[in-house]
Amino acid sequence: MSMRNRVLLAVTLALSVGPVSSWAQHRVAATSSPIRAVASATVMGRVLDARGAAQAGVPVTITRQDGLLVRKVYTTQNGKFSLSRLVPGLYAVDVSLPNHLPFSKAPIPVKAGAQVVVDVQLRTLAESMEIGMPHDAAQARDDWKWTLRTASPTRPILRFQEEINPSQTADASELQERPVHGTVLVSAGNEARGFGADPGVRTAFKMDYDWMGGNTATLAGSAGWERGTPAASFRAAWDRRSDTGTNSSLSVAMRQVFLPTTYRQQFSSPLPSLDNRVQSFSGRYENEMPLAQNLTLRYGAVFDSVSVNTFVSQLSPFAQFSYTPDVNTRWTLAYSSESPKFLPSDRGDGGTGSLSIPQISTDTSDRNRVALESGTHVEIGWGRKLGRYRVQAAAFYDELSDVALSLGGEPIALFGGLLRDPFSNTRFMDGGGYAAGGARASIGAHVAGDTSVYVSYAYAGGLRAAADRLVADDARTLREMVHARKSSSVTVAVHSTVPGSRTEVITSYQWLPNNTLVVGDPYNSGMGRSEPYLNFALVQPIPSPEIFPGQFRAIADFSNVLAQGYVPVHNAEGGTSYFFPAARSFRGGFSFIF
């Protein structure tokens, strides 16, 4: 099947399944691969001529033995070339330049996490010839005759190879090495993470196209439907990588949710309302560049905007310095003014869950104002690998504003002015803000086989309710019962892959103090990150028919299985709602990786 037909088949599948839902975000962020922990490798080197002069702009073709990867890169001004993110295997390096003899080296064994150096010295035909008279003419004639007799027959330069079925490969991550690869996801379930986060039924797709020279174009989108409310989103990105270590990324994302006419009657605004829909736009630019040996700077900015009967926006710059004195140690100094959003998961859904609307809520002091959550984060961190163990430690300072609090349960007329989620009975109230310092420490260990254990402790500021049960007559009074406090949290997570079936299982539990509404250390992106309380997720590879050039996977995601952390809110009319830091929910479905 040609590449063009494969792409058309994947797009047809995405369109035929109809509107469906994105899988829930990752329960625990870890440094391992989303599909399976496979350390990538790099093939690098220099191209010189016979005199040792660097050759710039020379095409270097790197081919994997099984034919799943054929990539051409070009040498830089100093003659260097590099191709990273390679899976282990046997490779070949070929260089062809006019007026020079072709160069070929194979097989080149590439192991996980290795950096293989291949130096190429090109010669012309004249430079490769040596002219002179033999010392013994008779011996020279005998040597020439022997060469002709023992020469092997001419081997064919063109042969057909059986097509490899990707579903039978040992690791589905190998599919990501193809020039065109992506994911189509179909899922359904109930969830309440943020405003307009996930419709009950949703389909989503993500497709990456690798261009020559280390550039990648990405297209992603989703469409969903619930309660008569359609929703759609689209994202386009361009990633550029260079051999000098300078990498950049530019992306834009647009989202739209249509709403019933009665929905926006809860708001009043001097701005004219054009139609019944909520729209958001996000643009992100990021650049990474080496400053000195072992020192790297990553910086950029994010622009978020939301239109919901009014227009709110914010620009959030960020920067991070990384210093790696050796291969096992890393220091970081980071600053970010982004909202502490949960990063999407690439496990199972292939990154298709990154298209939600930014966190918004209703300001209790002014119900005409929609508040966009924002924050500032400064952190200094350290990490080190010690054999099969990994340790991380960090000290940080957080300052958050307009934090969106989730309030669920039966609708209460008292809180009718709060922003309601279009896909559930959840309302979002502006919980104000807080500023506090904190610290965290994490340790991870590879126990046995494909099993890893992570333990993390954090002491940081967050938002907590004043009591186990709250009684309020209006939303403003309820807001006054929410206070900023420092507290501890402990997280234990286990990542495992079942031998034989290759079922990936992730279980985590994060303990929090009573009455917690907003978890401390919301910017944590280390290996000990988890959502509150008990969570369980699994990804099961499914045997795929040979007609499909990819692999099917079944996914299931359970959040807050024991329904912990709910704080009841009563009013004089006898109604009851619940504050919660994490909703009890389930999402499941199927993904197709090609």
Q: How confident is the model at residue 344 (pLDDT cuts 50, 70, 90)?
A: very low
Q: Are residues 78 and 26 in the same domain?
A: no
Res 270: pLDDT = 39
Q: How confident is the model at residue 264 (pLDDT cuts 50, 70, 90)?
A: low
Q: CA-to-CA distance for 389 and 452, rounded, in angstroms?
A: 10
Could you count the other beta carbons within 10 Å of the beta carbon of residue 335? 14
pLDDT tens digits, residue range 206-249? 888 877 666 888 999 988 887 778 888 899 999 888 767 788 99
Do the domain assignments include residue 109?
A: yes
Q: Are residues 175 and 225 in the same domain?
A: yes
Cis, bond preceding 107 (omega within 30 deg of 0): yes
Q: How far is CA 398 from CA 298, 338, 339, 393, 460, in A?
A: 20, 11, 11, 16, 9
As to burial, measured by CB atoms within 10 angstroms (0-12 exposed, 13-18 middle, 19+ buried), residue 267 is: middle
Res 300: pLDDT = 95
DSSP element (H, E) containing 184: strand 180-190
Q: Are residues 498 and 372 in the same domain?
A: yes
Q: Are residues 59 and 31 in the same domain?
A: no
Do the domain assignments include residue 140?
A: no
Q: Are residues 100 and 203 in the same domain?
A: no
Do the domain assignments include residue 131?
A: no
Strands (DSSP E) contained in 75-144 are 80-86, 89-95, 103-110, 115-117, 120-121
Q: CA-to-CA distance for 349 and 50, rounded, in angstroms?
A: 50
As to burial, measured by CB atoms within 10 angstroms (0-12 exposed, 13-18 middle, 19+ buried), residue 384 is: middle
> Quick one: what percent of the chain has pLDDT higher than 70?
75
Q: What is the DSSP letter of 77?
A: T
Do the domain assignments include residue 496?
A: yes
Using the structure block, give the residue that is written with the tokens 């040609």: 2
Res 139: pLDDT = 67
Q: CA-to-CA distance for 394 and 532, rounded, in angstroms?
A: 20
Range of the domain at 282: 3-36+171-593
Q: Are residues 45 and 32 in the same domain?
A: no
Q: Are residues 107 and 219 in the same domain?
A: no
Do the domain assignments include residue 162?
A: no
Of 177-181, 344-348, 446-450, 581-585, the range with the lowest mean pLDDT is 344-348
Domain count, the chain: 2
Domain boundary residue among 65, 97, 124? Answer: 124
Q: How confident is the model at residue 425 (pLDDT cuts 50, 70, 90)?
A: confident
- The CATH number that applies at residue 319 is 2.40.160
Residue with the larger pLDDT of the pair 67 and 415: 67
Q: Are residues 62 and 183 in the same domain?
A: no
Do the domain assignments include residue 150?
A: no
pLDDT at 47 over 70: yes
Do the domain assignments include residue 160?
A: no
pLDDT at 148 over 70: no
Q: Are residues 104 and 227 in the same domain?
A: no
Give the HSE-up count for residue 178: Cα atoms under 13 Å, Cβ half-sphere: 22
Q: Are residues 437 and 314 in the same domain?
A: yes
Q: Are residues 385 and 480 in the same domain?
A: yes
Does the reported pTM lie above 0.95?
no
Q: CA-to-CA distance for 424 and 535, rounded, in angstroms?
A: 21
Q: Are residues 229 and 84 in the same domain?
A: no
Res 164: pLDDT = 39
Do the domain assignments include residue 339?
A: yes
As to burial, measured by CB atoms within 10 angstroms (0-12 exposed, 13-18 middle, 19+ buried), residue 418 is: buried
Q: CA-to-CA distance for 47 and 45, rounded, in angstroms?
A: 7
Token pair belonging to 210: 């690798």
Q: CA-to-CA distance for 392 and 398, rounded, in angstroms?
A: 19
Res 11: pLDDT = 35
Q: What angle do CA 15, 201, 182 make, to 5 degrees?
A: 45
Strands (DSSP E) contained in 421-499 are 427-430, 434-448, 451-465, 470-471, 482-497
pLDDT tens digits, residue range 350-389? 444 456 778 888 877 665 678 888 899 999 999 999 988 9
Q: Is 5 helix (H, G, I), strand (E, B) or coil?
A: helix
The three-state DSSP-derived secondary structure of 316-377 is EEEEEEEEEEECCEEEEEEEECCCCCCCCCCCCCCCCCCCCCCCEEECCCCCCCEEECEEEE
pLDDT at 534 over 60: yes
Could you count the other beta carbons within 10 Å of the beta carbon of residue 441? 16
Largest pairwise CA distance in the chain: 116
Domain boundary residue among 87, 105, 124? Answer: 124
Res 32: pLDDT = 37
